[in-house]
């Protein structure tokens, strides 16, 4: 199974090639995400919403506002850190989806050509990795969908460490606050 991104000078395109078993033979199957329709990752939307919440908190502060105490700064940083933590959780701990959710997702409908009926693809983010899972599936005699095999590939995604920087700033202000209280 391979995943590649198209030429950076051309229109963006993501292609997946994998071996698919038909009867007793294995064939290479190649599918592409329709470049006119984007693949939706709810995780990104959820994390983005928390980032917007953090930015809203910052934008509520008047540009000429003067902080009068370390406690006031720490309260703002606590609010920012909370929003950033929630956003990070969306990316670090993806919600599990059932195989049925994956098979019938809108994302499976945008693959050109469509993958075979006994195959499903899933993309998700886990911590700092983008993961693509390929599922081979079979319908049981009871009408339930069973996963017969799962393969995955992953690539590292560099993303900002804003939360760590906010926490370091808060720690430094807390230390200064302690000196202020002693004086």
pLDDT digits (tens, 9 = 90+) for 122-141: 988 887 778 889 999 998 88
What value does the mean pLDDT take over residues 81-108?
Answer: 89
Q: Which long-range contacts (CB under 8 A, 24 or more apart) does 127-136 make?
A: 127/91, 127/92, 128/156, 128/157, 128/158, 128/159, 129/154, 129/155, 129/156, 129/157, 130/154, 130/155, 130/157, 132/1, 132/3, 132/16, 134/1, 134/16, 134/18, 135/99, 135/102, 136/21
Per-residue model confidence (pLDDT) at position 84? 87
Per-residue model confidence (pLDDT) at position 36? 83
Per-residue model confidence (pLDDT) at position 11? 46
- Which structure tokens are listed for 104? 């019938």
* 74, burial (CB in 10 Å: exposed 0-12, middle 13-18, buried 19+): middle
Per-residue model confidence (pLDDT) at position 13? 64
What value does the mean pLDDT take over residues 148-171?
Answer: 75
pLDDT in tens, 22-61: 667 778 888 888 888 878 888 889 989 999 999 998 888 8
Of 24 and 91, the one with more pLDDT = 91
The widest CA-to-CA distance across the chain, in whole angstroms, is 81
Per-residue model confidence (pLDDT) at position 56? 92
Model confidence at 165: pLDDT above 80:
no
Give the angle 96-97-100 at the CA atoms, nearest 5°.
160
């Amino acid at each position: 199974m391979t995943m590649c991104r198209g030429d950076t000078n051309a229109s963006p395109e993501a292609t997946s090639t994998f071996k698919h078993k038909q009867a007793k033979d294995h064939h290479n199957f190649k599918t592409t995400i329709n470049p006119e329709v984007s693949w939706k990752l709810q995780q990104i939307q959820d994390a983005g919403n928390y980032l917007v919440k953090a930015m809203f908190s910052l934008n509520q502060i008047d540009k000429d506002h003067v902080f009068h105490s370390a406690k006031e700064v720490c309260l703002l940083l606590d609010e920012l850190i909370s929003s950033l933590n929630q956003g990070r959780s969306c990316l670090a701990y993806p919600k599990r989806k059932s195989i049925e959710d994956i098979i019938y997702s809108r994302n499976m409908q945008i693959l050109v050509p469509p993958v075979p009926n006994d195959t499903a693809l899933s993309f998700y983010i886990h911590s700092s990795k983008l993961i693509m899972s390929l599922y081979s599936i079979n319908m049981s005699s009871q009408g339930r969908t069973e996963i017969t095999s799962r393969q995955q590939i992953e690539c590292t995604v560099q993303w900002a460490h804003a939360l760590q920087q906010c926490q370091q700033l808060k720690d430094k202000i807390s230390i200064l606050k302690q000196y202020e209280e002693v004086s």
